[in-house]
Chains A and B, each alone.
Chain A
Amino acid sequence: MDKNNCIEHMEKFFQLDTEILWLKNPDFLMQSRIFYYRSNFRAINEIKVLTAKSKNLQDDIVFDIYFIRAEFETLFNGYFKIVPITSTAIAMFEGVSKICTDLGEYFYYVYQNSEFLKIYFATGNAANSLEHHNRKKTKEGAFDFKKYKEDMYLEISSYSQDEFSELVLNRDLTMKYISNFIKLNSKCSEYVKMFLINMLSAVYNKNICIINNGYNIKNHILVDTQNVRVNNYPKIGVYDVIENAVKNNALVLVKFNYDFKGGGK
């Protein structure tokens, strides 16, 4: 399935509603462009633009799409926030980013990373998708955040307080670290951009702790210009780690890998 097929499936299974009267025929693609909203919501910082509902009412998948007016250098000129409303929608978006700059790209990304949505597109049945989703979560070998957290904290505890403070970068300067990462490196992929926006968001920034390469810490999320991955656990999604960290009030260590191939101005 490519991006266009994915949008066709979204339109097939979901209905979009809006309370904004002049927003005619809202869709997942053409009218979802940032600049379109940016010019229309100049004075509003956050506004609900769309509500998506499963066409089959029994499936009860409902989520809202908000437009957030904010700018950050070349990273974004406003972005969309997805807010799942029903428990089935929460399952659909579990372990994926809920922030994006391009809705069309975003739903293709969700399709690639959400077991729920893959099954839903294949079967058209939310109960079936939920069953798959829950079975995957509980089966042997599924991601165990408790274990991840224990491993990470055990690793941190092997360093002295002085060593740890050398390792952790200033938490007031997250914006600077992201700004420098964008300036000094080659162009980031959409997936990396999405992660950087999440890092800047109020939801995650209390839990994220940027580290340098001073010590050989293994349990961290590694960000380069093309990819973001959980070091040591290649099969685990980064948002599974971060969402669990938020729920459990835990830290997530994030390390940047610079390539110094950015523009020279």
Chain B
Amino acid sequence: MAENKDLIVVENLKKHFRTGSGFFKKRKAIYAVNGLNFTIRRKETLGLVGESGCGKSTTGETILQLYRPTEGKVLYGEQDLSKIGGGELRKYRRKMQIIFQDPFSSLDPRMTVGNIIGEALRIHKLGGNKKERLEKARELLNLVNLNPNYINRYPHEFSGGQRQRIGIARALAVTPEFIVCDEPISALDVSIQAQIVNLLEDLQNELGLTYLFIAHDLSMVRHISTRVAVMYLGKIVELTPRDDLYENAQHPYTKALLSAVPIPDPFIAKKSQAVLLKGDVANPMNPPKGCCFNTRCPQAETICTEIEPEYREIYPSHYCACHLVSA
């Protein structure tokens, strides 16, 4: 793979949080992100799926340097973002934006839409004077299919889907190359989700954007992604091109995840048997020895509880970390 095709290269990325200490409690670490290696190619959408608490949001935020990594590198082009700070990092911040999950709490209720969108322009000194900034905000509202005359309204006057469009307009204000979409549709109604996904796809084609699309809805991730990474307990267990994910999933966790997705078709759904996983996700403060999935894996063998499986390429551009899968 040519080097210049990759926009972002993540190498051995780790983010550990320390818990608060109590009088009788020792400080402990939460291994939220625990050694990730992957790349995000220019103009692709990399889907990142996993259950709550598996570290997918932390991964997105660590790439953006909203959290500084505990260990490892995040290369943006040639630059290692974990090594720089201050004004130098701010230059890169302009190129990387985020769209948050909850359109209700991620917009300041006391700012008008025009100011919310214009704020990033002001901070990055891109928009000129206030009047020009508001003009730019109108253009951006138009771009996300909202009425440009809404710039003087406040967030509470909008529905969830409209707010998410405002969140997208804000992210686009500084003309970024890369956007982390952190569950941008999970708080929205079903009939609105398709609107937002279509908008994100249109914008990607029009502006040549690169997405990291974080979600727990596998069918939506498969729909929007070029490649999909499956995370479990701070690690990527499988990374494949989108079609391989459904037709040729290798990791037992991916298989279980896929079979757990309800298919909206009564003829198929009543016949299919889900692979039911036992129990819950293990505690990220105390991840199991060996493979992170061995406590719930229906196929676990002795080796799985002792040695951590290597994350390797089993087919061309299909990565998997499992002892029981052979190339």
Q: Do A and B bind each other?
A: no
Residues of A near any B CB (own CB < 8 A): none
